Amino acid sequence: MAESAPPAKTGFALGLAMAVNQIAVILAPPALGLLTDLTGSFTPAWGLLSAMTAVALTATARAERLNTGRTRRSETASL
């Protein structure tokens, strides 16, 4: 996270990431518990967690690929 933010915005980016993380830590257990109670099964909760993990992995891989391409272009331009 720190490497992807501009140097002047590193603190803000890390603070925002930590705040979002803490909100998720507070809201996820009751929300998944409610989903389990409403459906009578743990399967939808596990499915939702799996889908969210897949989205996060895809976004991370995509951001890394874009960041790597940006780094290569700047290295080429400086030569």
Per-residue model confidence as pLDDT tens digits over 53-71: 999 999 989 988 887 776 5
Report the C-alpha gap between 25 and 16 in whole angstroms: 14
pLDDT at 70: 64
State the Cα–Cα distance between residues 20 and 12, nearest whole angstrom: 12
Confidence band (pLDDT; 50, 70, 90) for 7?
confident
Mean pLDDT of the chain: 87
Question: What's the whole-number mean pLDDT along residues 11-38?
Answer: 95
As a whole number of angstroms, the distance between CA 42 and CA 39 comes to 8
In the predicted structure, residue 32 carries a pLDDT above the cut 80: yes
Residue 26 has pLDDT above 90, yes or no: yes
C-beta separation of 32 from 49 below 8 A: yes
